[in-house]
Chains A and B, each alone.
Chain A
Amino acid sequence: MSDIGAPKLVRAPALRRALAGTPWRRFIILAGFALVWELYARWLDNGLLLPTLGATLSALWSAILSGELPNRALTSLRVLITGYALGVVIAAVLTTFAALSRWGNEALGLLTSMFNPLPAIALLPIALLWFGVGTPSLIFVIVHSVLWPVALACYGGFLAVPPTLRMAGRNLGLSGGRFVAEILVPAAFPQILSGLRMGWAFAWRTLIAAELVFGVSARSGGIGWFIYTNRAQLETASVFAGLLTVILIGLLVEGVIFRTLTRITVQRWGQVQT
């Protein structure tokens, strides 16, 4: 067949390219928010209820310098990542079975509709009973909080794979695990990615809540424990510093890890609009 010519590309002007991105808009919104906070806190003039942004930042800075906050954050993150990874792996196994067999399909449908509405924190008493006070209990509730939304998203994604794409895969003789891993998973990646995102948010939330509830082992406590003790000592600025840390870590994971993942996968593949 005759060759089709390569398309000609023209570079967009530099200013247009610089303004096309979202960061500068976000920055302005953030600055506006900080300004409102600072002004309102000054007007309220009650450091016990609402510390100023300045006071919060200086509390954050000194907690970072003392090494306490980084330590607490690391402890939380370690538990979080363990629980998150475990939850995602179990979700992957479950959805693979669900994609390959009727029984697996029914089982997943039943389990998710049973357990997804159950708040992870409601399982904490049971977890404490089974695993005692400590990391295993935390991991248990995190796994619960991640597993069902991720499994649900993966499975929904599998179901939405166009029949033609499925047939194209089976046409090559693919079946079983290979069909799931090489056709269904990449085809359902937009949904899987949003499931992973949601799972991450749930896990983070659950962990902080759980740490607050059973703020016990002070030596190995995480950010939740940091917030809890500072509230008990009426160090409100430090409480806000703890909350700010939770938000910052969340933003960092969202803005760096998930954004990059989206850019190099589904955006590049044209599965979502840029």
Chain B
Amino acid sequence: MNVAPRLTGLAGDKASPTLLELDRVSISYPTSDGILTAVEDVSFRISAGERLVLLGPSGCGKSTLLRAVGGFLKPSAGEVRMNGRRIGAPGPDRMTVFQEFDQLLPWRTVLGNVRYALERGRALSRRDAEQIARRWLERVGLKNFVDAFPHTLSGGMKQRVAIARAFALEPALLLMDEPFAALDALTRRQMQDELLRLCEETGNTALFVTHGIDEAIRVGTRILALTPHPGRLAATFDVPPETRARGTAGFGELERRIQETVFSAPEIGHV
């Protein structure tokens, strides 16, 4: 842990090339009462292979930051660069898994959703797209539901489809905005474990947003904590692999440290 006056969240591992770089990014929303600064002066880098977690209380601008990286929002100051190039429009190289369940196209089946994304996002032929889509749906445990329409699925299953769709597109950077926040605690734990497995198997680089400390430790390799209103970097924590398993001494110790540093009142930000 290092709490410095000007935090930059630089990657510890200098050997891997930088994939994404946020350079003093501020983001504000115009509202009827004036300009609301959601994120102020945030800088960090993500190296290839890393899983960076943005951790912070509700309303601190995590989703806002993720949307700027996705290209859905323009920063009011600073720059977001991917492979050294400034991010313009959204693109399939930054597939996003959103928190909301309505991110699937309701008029396509489970298979249709993933296949369509592959046809459009990776310009694959229908046959190739279908093959890859089936493989990924099988990997997330949905091979019995390929022909179901999204509205017949449970929330957890919908998120599995969204995860399969995102992984299938083989994005350079996977963006996830609290994909499990609306699930019950048991399902959430299971999904965290399964997501971790997929990430480790594919070696995907990811930017993950959450307000749960345990979730951050479970899925991340590095954690950036944000302050509330407006969001600024507060601290950064490296998560060693041996700490990642729930119930170990390291896990609890790190959880306690983050709790102390970031959240003054106990239990805030805890799911």
Residues of A within 8 A of B (CB): 1-6, 162, 164-165, 167-168, 170-175, 182-183, 186-187, 189, 265, 268-271
Contact = CB atoms under 8 A, between A and B. Distances in A.
A42 B70 CA distance: 74
A234 B254 CA distance: 94
Interface stretch (B124-132, B144-152, B218-226, B235-243): B144-152
Contact of B144 (A4, A183, A187): A4
Interface of B: 67, 70, 72, 89-92, 94-96, 98, 100, 102-107, 117, 120-121, 138-145, 149-152, 157, 160, 194, 197-198
Given A1-B194, A186-B107, A270-B150, A170 B72 contact: yes
B106 A270 contact: yes
Contacts of A175: 89
The interface residues of chain A, by DSSP majority, are classed as loop
30 contacts: A1-B139, A1-B141, A1-B197, A2-B194, A3-B141, A3-B142, A3-B143, A4-B142, A4-B157, A6-B145, A164-B100, A165-B105, A167-B72, A167-B98, A168-B103, A171-B91, A171-B94, A171-B95, A171-B96, A171-B121, A172-B121, A173-B89, A173-B92, A182-B120, A186-B105, A187-B106, A187-B107, A270-B150, A271-B106, A271-B107
Contacts of A189: 107
Contacts of A187: 105-107
The interface residues of chain B, by DSSP majority, are classed as helix
Contacts of B103: 164-165, 167-168
A38 B105 CA distance: 52
Contacts of B107: 186-187, 189, 265, 269, 271
B108 to A, nearest CB: 8
Given A1-B194, A172-B120, A162 B139 contact: no
Contacts of B92: 171-173
A173 B100 contact: no
Given A4-B157, A164-B102, A165-B105, A173 B90 contact: yes
- With a 10 A CB-CB cut-off, give which of A167, A186, A268 has the most chain B CB atoms: A167
Contacts of A167: 67, 70, 72, 90, 96, 98, 103
